[in-house]
Structure 1
């Protein structure tokens, strides 16, 4: 059985988890605390980052998008990249946007300041970084609203890896209760659709000891 190395609130690992479930791949989740820099894990991925996917033949795959593209090639059904070249470009563009821009401007700050600093005793959270993430989050929610007003899913009529990427990041931010959903009805409507999928429901089962999410976190209809 393939093994996916992850940690609780890694959006990249959540993204790959969602793709594996969508493609109906049975796999074992293995918690990896990246900050411990275990030699055995570094041997799998010298970058020392999750996700890392180890297949049945022992080959280890790292790099979020590299794993996603690999899965698309070796397990083509059901596809997470659909349509013609223009359609697939849009899916890749949005997936990259969520992982790179949303991840850099929002999720990375949120997890670092609200999780790692607390559990690794790295000092008090940086209030300026938290304010910056909060401001940037609104910009990204506006963009998701724009997309969801025009499309059933973010890249078109079907669930794709663009939705999986956005849901991975939004679910992390929502774990900390940072989204006032009543202010974002279009995003909420999209997220309700996404939450109903088995691949995303599985992500919402994660819990961190000593840090509970809001009551609505795993409720499919809020």
Structure 2
């Protein structure tokens, strides 16, 4: 069985879970804590970062961007599931650009200030930054969410999906990040109906079911989190 070593609320790990499900590839997950730098995990990925995917034949693929490219090269047949980077070079470049927007820009401006502050720091030892959230960082993250929802609205007013007419890795990356923030109830959906409608389409796909079942001990999800009609 294919294995994915991951952190449940880490958006780049969630992106890979969505990609595998959209590819219709069976897999099981194992939760890891990369900051512990365990020898067995370092042997799989010396960078000590999740996600790491282990194929049934033992092939090890690490780094979320590398995994996406690997999945589309090895399992590209459209009959087997979604093509993550469809079209020609221009279309694939646009999908990569938008995915990078969320994996880097959104991560720095929102995810780190909300998900990492409110959840990840609870599990980190003190010497690695563990402790209560930084209220100023949380305030900044809350302020920045709207900027990115406005950009999503701009895109979907002009396209069927974020990068064009087809669902791509761009949509999976954006939805993965927003789902982590939405777990906390920190996405002002009511102010951005176009973005909300796009997210509802993603949220209702079968690939999203496992994400909606995630639970962080001691921190339940927002009441609307798993509701498809939110």
Shorter-chain TM range is over 0.9
Q: Which runs of 5+ in 1 are unaligned?
A: none
1:211 is aligned to 219
Counterpart-to-counterpart distance in 1, 2:145 and 2:107: 10
Q: TM-score, normalised by structure 1?
A: 0.96
- Shift of the alpha carbon at 1:119? 3.5
1:221 is aligned to 229
Counterpart-to-counterpart distance in 1, 2:198 and 2:42: 38
Counterpart-to-counterpart distance in 1, 2:226 and 2:185: 12
Which one of 189, 193, 207 corresponds to residue 199 of structure 1?
Answer: 207
Moved more, 66-75 or 132-141: 132-141
Give deviations 1:173-216, integer Å, cap 9, x for gaps.
00011012111101100011111111122211111121111111
1:57 is aligned to 57
Q: TM-score, normalised by structure 2?
A: 0.93
Give deviations 1:43-80, integer Å, cap 9, x for gaps.
10111111000111212111111110010000003311
2:118 is aligned to 114
1:94 is aligned to 98
Give the conservation status (yes or no) of the 8 Å contact 2:146–2:188: no
Counterpart-to-counterpart distance in 1, 2:12 and 2:176: 7
Tell me, what secondary structure is at the counterpart of 1:150? coil
1:139 is aligned to 147
Instruction: Show the 5 A alignment for 1:1-222.
Output: 1-78=1-78, 79-120=83-124, 122-222=130-230
- Shift of the alpha carbon at 1:87? 1.0
Tell me, what secondary structure is at the counterpart of 1:5? strand
Give the conservation status (yes or no) of the 8 Å contact 1:23–1:77: no
Give the conservation status (yes or no) of the 8 Å contact 1:167–1:200: no
- Shift of the alpha carbon at 1:150? 1.2
Q: Aligned-pair RMSD on alpha carbons?
A: 1.2
Aligned length: 222
Give the conservation status (yes or no) of the 8 Å contact 2:3–2:29: yes
Counterpart-to-counterpart distance in 2, 1:110 and 1:54: 30
